Amino acid sequence: MSVLIYAENADGKFKKSIFEAVSYAKAIAAQNNTTLVALSIGNVAAAELSALGKYGAEKVLNVSNDKLKSFVNQAYASVIAEAAKKEGSTIVVLSNSFSGKGLAPRIAVKLGAGLSDGAVSLPDAGARFTVKKSVFSGKAFAVVELTSENKVVSLTPNSYKLVETGGNATVEDFTSDLKDSDFKTIIKDIVKATDKVSLPDAELVVSAGRGLKGPENWGMIEELANLLGAATACSKPVSDAGWRPHSEHVGQTGIAISPNLYIAIGISGAIQHLAGVSSSKVIVVINKDPEAPFFKVADYGIVGDAFEVVPKLIEAVKQLKAS
């Protein structure tokens, strides 16, 4: 057997969340006394591919085929499942990215595997393969056992540390037979904000709510985020009102994130909002109302007017960066 990690690239580069998933897959391979094989699909340079070795991949299978240049869910799932079969991989690991969410269930069905989505911890090393995941929108965790012979695990970004093993990976070309029926979807356009830190991957997030009064006041939020290298987020009423794009809406009905730092400015801390952010490692709340429920789940707080506090924070970050 072996463990297979699908290493998704973003414009030819691997993100930190992928190296986390490689480190995680390496630890699973070690638990099972076996090797780690990585699979890359798309155009990735040789040096970047061998970087997967640094985090524990012994071998990298490289699929570069013009038809697979951009993401096609069904076709990618077929290639990954085929690689798993050829390599005798009984455990397949992916990052729980947007693409990973599309792929994992299809791969699991192809392999007759149980799927543990959004894992936040290593499997238990005992006789039973159990993985912890977040459930009830961040309000609890479930310990899930995969009882099938084959297993698929997708890892939540920013929930496993990077572990450099210092190894070198050999890179091999991998070809597979592509079925036309896997190419029914066609990408017409890709719209990306390239100058921004992407929210699901972000380690630091600056978020603001209705307390900011209007879209014209987001300048200071963006300035603070830029200085910190943070992504921006918002509460639901803010995106509903069109003050900010829907892609920034976090919470139960938006996206769930688990950054190292979440700064909530002028957000009351409604239970539906908390559902999406409560697994952040450090939470900072800035709110003029000392009774705002958000303070109950915060690590640090300032009771004060955002319009006075945020400019001071910006000054302090500038000074810190200058020192």
Partner 1 sequence: MKILVCISNVPDTTTKITFTDNNTQFNTAGVQFILNPYDEIALSRAVELAEGGKGTVTVINVGEVSTEPTIRKALAVGADEAVRINAKPHDAYFVAYQIAEYAKDKAFDMILTGRESIDYNGAKVAGMIGELLDIPSVSIIKKLDVDGTTATVDREIESGKEVITIPFPFVAGTAEGVAEWKIPNMRGIMSARTKPLTVVEPKEVKTLSEILSFETPAPRGQVKLVPADDAAKLIDLLHNEARVF
Ligand X SMILES: Cc1cc2nc3c(=O)[nH]c(=O)nc-3n(C[C@H](O)[C@H](O)[C@H](O)COP(=O)(O)OP(=O)(O)OC[C@H]3O[C@@H](n4cnc5c(N)ncnc54)[C@H](O)[C@@H]3O)c2cc1C
Residue among 50, 223, 301, 307 that touches partner 1 (CB under 8 A)? 301
Could you say which of 28, 68, 77, 80 contacts partner 1 (CB under 8 A)? 77
CA distance 274 to 111: 36
Residues numbered 98-117 forming contacts with partner 1, rule: CB under 8 A: 98-99, 101-106, 108-110, 112-117
CB of 218 to partner 1, least distance (A): 17
According to the binding rule CB under 8 A, does residue 33 interact with partner 1? no
What secondary structure letter does DSSP report for 203?
S
Residue 45 interacts, among ligand X, partner 1, none and using kind-specific CB cut-offs from 5 to 8 Å, with: none
Selected binder of ligand X within 236, 243, 258, 284 (CB under 6 A) = 236
Nearest in space to 199 (alpha carbons), one of 231, 167, 238: 231
Q: Give yes or no for residue 151 binding ligand X (CB under 6 A).
A: no
**Single residue of 211, 244, 262, 263 touching ligand X by CB under 6 A:** 211
- The DSSP result for 218-244, as a single string, is GHHHHHHHHHHT-EEEE-HHHHHTTSS
Beta bridge partners of 131: 144
289 touching partner 1, by CB under 8 A: no
Binding to ligand X by residue 123, rule CB under 6 A? no
The option from ligand X, partner 1, none interacting with 268 (CB < 5 to 8 A, set by class) reads: ligand X
Confirm or reject binding of residue 161 to partner 1 (CB under 8 A).
Answer: no
The DSSP letter of residue 199 is G
- Nearest distance from residue 39's CB to partner 1, in Å? 18
Pairing of strands 282-287, 151-155: unpaired
Q: Which residues contact 208 (CB under 8 A, 6 or more apart)?
A: 218, 221, 232, 234, 235, 238, 264, 265, 266, 267, 306
